[in-house]
Amino acid sequence: MTTPRGKGAVRYGGDSDSNTQLRSALAQVGSYRCYSCGEPKRFSDLQIDHLIAQSVSVDELSKVKLALDLPEKFDVQGPENLAVICGRCNRSKSNKDLHRKLAFAEQVDKSIARADDVVLIVESMRNGHGLSASLASASAADLGDSATQDTFSTFAPGLVQRFAMLDEGLVDYVSPANLRVSRGWEGYDVRVLINNRLRFVQSFVRVMLDREFIQLIEDVSSDLVDYTIEKTRGHLVIGPDESFAHEFAVDTPVIQHMEVTVDDAEVTWDGELVNFEICGSLDGRVIAHVTGDDPDEPGALRDAQTDVAIYGAFRSKFVLSLEEQDEVLNYDIHHEDKFVLDPDWSTNSIERLFDDF
C-alpha cells in the first residue's frame, strides 16, 4: 500500500463516492460489526456514525477532548471520530447519553488507533489499485441479492483459504446469540458474540461437561447482575457527596434496563478441575429507594428515589468440578470489574427533596 497523504485528506462530508469509500474502509477495520451492539451486519445496513456529534460546539468539543485526553488536532469529521453503526442502533441511540458510557470512550480510542488503516484503505481505492478496488467492491456488495449470493458461494471459499494461508489466526467471524433472563417481574438481556475462541469454549463445555455453553453464561450473568446490584447499593449508602455525614438506608435496586455482553472466554483443564474466564461488558440502569435522616428534624426520616447508570467491563473467573455422586456442577464466581456507577442525584436527590419540605 502507498503511504497515506494524511488523515486530513480522508474526511466525512465529501461527495457520495468518497463517503461510500470511507464507509467501506470503516466497515473493514471494524470487521463489519456495528460498534454499538457488536453484531455483524450486512454492509447495506451499516452507516457512518460520528462518535462525538458533528454538531458539537467548540466549547463542548474542548471539554470532551480534555475529558477523554484526545489529541489537539482531533477532527470530528475525520476517521478518528467515525465508526459504522447499524440502522437499528443509530435510530435508538441518544447523543446526550454517549459521554456517560465507558464503551463510548473505548470506541473513540479504537477509532483513533484504526484511523491510519482507514486512510490507507481509502487511498488504495482512490489510487485505482485493481485488487484493492475489487476487494472493496466485494466487501460492499449487498448479500440480499441472490445473484451476489451465488457469486460469493463460488469465489469466497477460495479467498478464505488464501487468507488462511497468509495468517490462519485472522480467519474469524462473529455470530451473535441473544438471551432474555427473567428475575421475577424483572429481567435483563444477554448477548454472546461468538467468535473462534468462544466456539472452542462452547464445544469444550458441551463435550467435556455435557452442558450447553449458553446455560453456563446464564448462570454467570445472573451472578454478575446480583454482584452489580449489591455493589450499587453499597455505593449509594454514602449519599450524593461528602457533605452528608450520615449513611443512607438503601433498598435493593430494581432493574430498569440491563444488558450483559460476553465477547471473550478462555478455558484451561487441570485434572478434574476446569478453569474458566468470561469477559465482556455491562450496560444498564437501576432505580434505588434511599432513606436518610432529616437534617431539619432530628430523629425524623426522609426518603427519595434515584436512577443509577451502570456501565463498564467485567472479567469473571471460576472453577468447575463434577461431583460424580451428585452429578452437579459446583462453582464460586469471582468478578473483577471496571464499572462506572453514576447516580442521578440531581433530579430526585435527597438533598433537593429536603429543601422542598
| Tens digit of each residue's pLDDT (9 = 90 or more) over 117-144 | 999 888 877 776 567 667 767 777 777 7
pLDDT of amino acid 108 = 86
Give the pLDDT confidence score for residue 227 in this predicted structure. 93
DSSP codes of every residue in 195-244: -HHHHHHHHHHHHHS-S-HHHHHHHHHHHHHHHHHHHHHHHHTT-SSTT-
Query: Do 243 and 300 touch, CB atoms closer than 8 A?
Result: no
Q: How confident is the model over 269-286, as pLDDT tens digits? A: 877 788 899 998 888 888
Res 355: pLDDT: 36
Alpha helices, DSSP H, located in the chain: 16-29, 58-68, 87-92, 95-98, 102-126, 130-139, 146-167, 196-208, 213-236, 345-348, 350-356
Q: Which of 318, 210, 329, 314 is nearest to 264 (CA)?
A: 314
Which residues of the chain register pLDDT less than 50? Answer: 1-5, 96, 98-100, 243, 324-328, 347-357
Nearest Cα to Cα of residue 35 among 261, 330, 317, 329: 261
- Determine the pLDDT at residue 357: 26
Report residue 91 CA to chain centroid gap. 17
pLDDT of 323 reads 59
The pLDDT value given to residue 142: 74
pLDDT of residue 121: 85
Per-residue pLDDT at 35 = 86
3-state secondary structure at position 42? coil
Largest CA distance in the chain: 80
